[in-house]
A = this chain, B = another copy of it.
Amino acid sequence: MYVVNIEDLNGTDRDVKSETWRSRRMVLAKEGVGFSFHETTIYAGTTSTFHYQNHYEAVYCVAGRGTLTSEETGESWDLRDGTLYLLNEHDKHTVRAEEELRLICTFNPPVTGREVHDENGVYPLVTED
């Protein structure tokens, strides 16, 4: 059993910040369970584009308000408490936060914590040795 409170991760290497979002990684590849599990905050008034060519991701909104747009099809959805989106086709997508969004995220394969988004918002595939 491994128990952690998100506040314990503040300022550690599991607390990753960009201009528009912050991601705290509670479960990483090193935990050895085959997925990673993060809480991502997207700041109010920001727009972020993501593209995970090497990962599946489920994103579950538990607070805030925003808009999700598929850059593949142009389709949009409201994001609010209770909305889940699943990137099961490696869809390039944009998240606009009207209010700060609290997003709970699972990645497969698990993120190691050493990835950085490249200039296209893409995570490379990094595996644990």
- Chain A positions near chain B (C-beta within 8 angstroms): 1-7, 26-27, 31-35, 37, 39, 56, 58, 60, 62, 68, 70, 72-73, 75, 77, 80, 82-89, 91, 93, 102, 104, 106, 108
Contact of A85 among B2, B34, B68 (CB under 8 A): B2
Closest B residue to A104 by beta carbon equals B104
Q: Are B34 and A108 in contact (CB under 8 A)?
A: yes
Contact of A33 among B1, B58, B77, B80 (CB under 8 A): B58
State whether A31 and B86 are in contact (beta carbons under 8 Å apart), knowing that A37-B106, A58-B26, A60-B39 are contacts in the complex. yes
Closest B residue to A106 by beta carbon equals B106
**CB neighbours of A4 from chain B (8 A):** 83-84
**In the bound complex, what is the Cα–Cα distance between A86 and B31 (angstroms)?**
9
- Is chain A's binding surface mostly helix, strand, loop or mixed? strand
**CB neighbours of A104 from chain B (8 A):** 60, 62, 104
Q: Are B34 and A88 in contact (CB under 8 A)?
A: no
Q: How far is the CB of A38 from chain B (nearest CB, A)?
A: 10
Q: Are B33 and A83 in contact (CB under 8 A)?
A: no
State whether A34 and B31 are in contact (beta carbons under 8 Å apart), knowing that A84-B3, A87-B1, A104-B62 are contacts in the complex. no
